[in-house]
Amino acid sequence: MHPIKTGVAVFLAAFLSVPAVRAQDPAAAKEASPESRPFGPLEKSLLVPGWGQFSVGRPVEGVLFLGSTVLCLIGALADNHLGNENYALYKAAANPADATRFRALTERYDRRRNQFLLAGAAVWALNLLDIALLVKGGDRSRRAWTIHIGQDFHEAFVVGAGCRF
């Protein structure tokens, strides 16, 4: 089976196997705290990037996190496939010039695959950080991000950053 089709099938199977959480009384669902629900926003974002943002009413962020992760995975799978094809051509090369060219292409696609995987992991980490800050801090307007630029007592240039929760 093609690797992209396999990945999509595994994702759909995992996503559909998670039971839906529905309350009988809508008022009771609104009063339930994130800790009392089986799947809170943080757990949802841990399973599927962006799902937690959707559940707390931030659909634009949810689409951005989910879309970025999916694009990174598609890029990694596509470059992995191209790298494997070029590796097979490298092993079957008849002359050194072709072998060198196919080996260089294999390394190029493998490097790009690894960059896509690293980017996907970074998006996932940012997704978890975002939803953790939302769950812990409530509204984003209460958080304050600051950047400090100045000089220390040795007159060296100093840059600092901070976040208040």
Domain residue extents for the chain = 3-140
Whether the predicted pLDDT of 12 surpasses 80: no
Q: What's the distance, CA 65 to chain centroid?
A: 6
Whether the predicted pLDDT of 144 surpasses 90: no
Mean pLDDT of 21-47: 60
Mean pLDDT of 121-144: 76
Closest CA to 60 of 5, 116, 140: 140
Whether the predicted pLDDT of 75 surpasses 90: yes
Phi and psi at 161, nearest 5°, equal -135, 150
Residue 5 confidence (pLDDT): 63
Q: What b/e readout covers 53-91, taking b as 16+ CB neighbours within 10 angstroms?
A: bbbbebeebbebbbebbbebbebbbbbbebbeebbebbe
Whether the predicted pLDDT of 137 surpasses 90: no
What pTM was computed for the model? Answer: 0.61
